[in-house]
Amino acid sequence: MFKKISDPADCEVRSVIRFLNAKKVKAAEIPRQLVEIYGENVMTDGMIRKRVRQFNDGRTNVHDEARRGRPSVVNDGLVTKVNEKIRENRRFTIRMLFDEFQQISKTVLHEIVTNRLNYRKLCSRWVPKMLIDVHETK
Band (138; pLDDT cuts 50, 70, 90): low
pLDDT digits (tens, 9 = 90+) for 6-21: 888 889 999 999 999 9
25 bridge partner residues:
none
Q: What is the identity of the amino acid at 109?
A: L
Phi-psi category of residue 118: left, alpha or beta, with phi > 0 → left and psi -120 to 50 → alpha: left
* C-beta of residue 4 within 8 angstroms of C-beta of residue 38: yes
Cα–Cα nearest to 97, from 80, 108, 109, 107: 109
- Residue 12: count other Cβ atoms within 10 Å of its Cβ: 13
Give the model confidence (pLDDT) of 28-81 as tens digits: 899 999 998 898 888 899 999 999 999 999 998 998 887 787 777 788 899 999
Could you say which of 1.10.3470, 1.10.10, 1.10.287, 1.10.8 is the CATH number of the domain covering 10-57?
A: 1.10.10
What is this structure's pTM? 0.51
Residue ranges per structural domain of the chain: 10-57, 76-116
CA distance 29 to 20: 9
Integer Cα distance of 2 and 13 in angstroms? 16
